[in-house]
Chains A and B, each alone.
Chain A
């Protein structure tokens, strides 16, 4: 018999979803930038990811920046400043060719993983 409260179970669920999301944030950013025609700044990326997630995921807003910087450092993204000095300036990010290659590879891995997990969980025949 479970003595865990509903709040504890909800917290576990949130933690579990958060763990799964953390491993795929880079993939989500790559896909978002690949789908758009314009480069995006950090705040736009957060808002658009949350809109795509439909309220399923909550992104810790500030933590998107170290991830973006790391991806830029790896050559997956390119950044540029928009706006005039003294006015509002935004650092916008766009995908590089290397980023597109990484996106294609990670999407292949994701599909293989997803299909594999569906098979393991018995979800391939429809639920």
Chain B
């Protein structure tokens, strides 16, 4: 058995995005290398040292916890990545154009502080990183609320 064999067992139990999974496996590889070195320094042969390291690591329990800990992170990031720029783009567009779709409010919009604030936030949005699930859900609800209002409200033209 090698460290790669142990990592293959871990990988078989994980179901995460490729990048996240690769990073996790690299971190576990480092842990196992250190644990094997420590066991060999105590006099164990390489095979016994790796068996002990794998046993103390606890593949089944750890992978279960890792799956739970990382569940949904990718999806939330995806929601954020899609929803925040869209919401800000809708607001931005609403500030530039009049509700009837014409640009009659353009000059007026340039004089509004809110216009510049939304414009700057729209540009910076892709850099933002929300950690709170509540904030993500709020953005998600706002996005769909605006989308439904657009689809169902005949008087509102974007």
Contacts and interface: CB of A to CB of B under 8 A. Distances in A.
A48 B73 CA distance: 30
B73 A73 contact: yes
A90 B30 contact: yes
B62 interface: yes
A65 B66 contact: yes
B27 A91 contact: yes
Given A66-B62, A66-B68, A42 B57 contact: no
Interface centre among A65, A67, A70 (most CB of B within 10 A): A65
A74 interface: yes
Interface residues of B, number: 23
Contacts of A89: 26, 30
Interface stretch (A9-17, A55-63, A105-113): A55-63
B35 A61 contact: yes
Contacts of B138: none
Contact of B57 (A62, A66, A75, A90): A62
21 contacts: A41-B27, A41-B30, A41-B31, A43-B30, A60-B58, A60-B61, A60-B62, A62-B31, A62-B57, A62-B58, A62-B59, A62-B62, A63-B58, A63-B62, A66-B70, A69-B66, A69-B70, A73-B73, A75-B131, A90-B27, A91-B26
Interface of B: 23-24, 26-28, 30-31, 33-35, 56-59, 61-62, 65-66, 68-70, 73, 131
